[in-house]
Structure 1
Amino acid sequence: MAIPQRFSLVTLGVADVEAATAFYRRLGWREAPSSVDGDIAFFATPGGVLALWETAELAKDAALPTMHANAPGFRAVALAINLASREEVDDAVGDWVLAGGSISKAAAETEWGGYSGYVADPDGNLWELAHNPSWPLDERGLPVLRGT
C-alpha cells in the first residue's frame, strides 16, 4: 500500500492557544468554526489545515515527553509561504512583525535565484516567506513545481 503524497494537517505546539490564535488572526487568517476556544484552533488553507494546540497536550497525544525549558530554540522544522514577488515578501515580513511575530533572518536574495527571509510566531514556530521565480503560483497561491 502506498501512503498518499500529501499532508492534511500541521499542528504547531504553542504555550497559550488563545494568544497564538490571536496572533494568527492579526495576520488576517480566519479561524475555522470547528475550533474549540482556548483548547485548539484550526485555520483552513489552500494546502492543508493549520492547527494550534498546547505543546504539552500535543506531546501527550504523541506519547512523547514535553521538551524541557532549556531545549534548543530551533526545532528543525520550518513552514513556508511562497509569494508572487519580492515586494510581497517584504510586505509579509512587515505585517508579520506588526502582528507580534519576529524576524529570524531578514529577507534577502538567495543563492538559488529567489528572495527569502525567516520569521517566527510568538511561540518560536519558524516560517519562511519566499519568492521563487522558478515556481509560479497557481490559482490557490501554491507553487507549481516544474522539472528541469
Structure 2
Amino acid sequence: MDQRLSFVTLAVDDLDVVRRFYLDGLGWQASFDGEEVLMLRAGPLLVLSLWRREAFEAEVGPIGTGPAPVTLAHNVATRDEVDRVLAEAHAAGASLADPPAERIWGGYTGYFTDPAGYRWEVAWNPGPIGQEVLP
C-alpha cells in the first residue's frame, strides 16, 4: 500500500450550511456537489468529502455524538498568514476555537471550528515537514 491519504471523509449535520461556508465563505471550488455529499479538492491528490450525516451513517454505520477526535490542518508559509487565514475563516462564519499562539515545538498556530463542528488548525511550521506540505 502506498503511503498516502486520498480522501478525508467527514459526516456533517447540515450540508447546506457547510456548503455555504466552504464555497461562498472561503471561496473553495467543488469537485463534486451532490444532494448528499460535497467533495472539495484539498491538495493535488487529496479530497475533502463532506457527507450528510444520515447518508454517511447509511454507508459506514452509526457514529457517536460530541466533538470528533480529529483535527484538520492547513499549513501556511508565514506566521502572518496564520492570522490572516483565521480572520478569513471567522468572516466566513467559523468560530475561533483557540487564538493563534507560539507553540512549544517552534511553530505558530490557531484553531477555528467550521459550521459542522470540525476543528481546523491553521499552522506555520518552520520545520522541514511543515515546508514539505506547502504548495
Same fold, TM exceeding 0.5?
A: yes
Q: How does 1:62-141 map to 2 (within 5 A)?
A: 62=60, 64-67=61-64, 71-72=65-66, 74-135=67-128, 137=131, 141=134
Partner of residue 19 from structure 1, selected from 17, 20, 31: 17
TM-score (norm 1): 0.82
1:105 is matched by which residue type in structure 2?
D
Check conservation: 2:102, 2:108, Cα contact below 8 A: yes
1:44-81 residue CA offsets vs partner (Å, 9 max, x unmatched): 1224001111112212211x2243xxx32x21100101
In 2, the alpha carbon distance for the partners of 1:4 and 1:18 equals 34
In 1, the alpha carbon distance for the partners of 2:124 and 2:103 equals 10
SS in structure 2 at match of 1:23: helix
The root-mean-square deviation of aligned C-alpha atoms, in Å, is 1.6
More strand, by proportion: 2
In 1, the alpha carbon distance for the partners of 2:92 and 2:18 equals 11
Unaligned runs of at least 5 residues, structure 2 = none
Identity over aligned pairs, percent: 35
Instruction: Report runs of 4+ in structure 1 exceeding 6 Å deviation.
Output: none
Q: CA deviation at 1:83?
A: 0.5
In 1, the alpha carbon distance for the partners of 2:20 and 2:40 equals 12
Matched, 1:43 2:37: no
TM-score (norm 2): 0.89
Q: CA deviation at 1:126?
A: 1.0
In 2, the alpha carbon distance for the partners of 1:35 and 1:4 equals 28
More helix, by proportion: 2
1:39 is matched by which residue type in structure 2?
E
- Higher-Rg structure is 1
Check conservation: 2:125, 2:131, Cα contact below 8 A: no
Q: CA deviation at 1:137?
A: 3.2
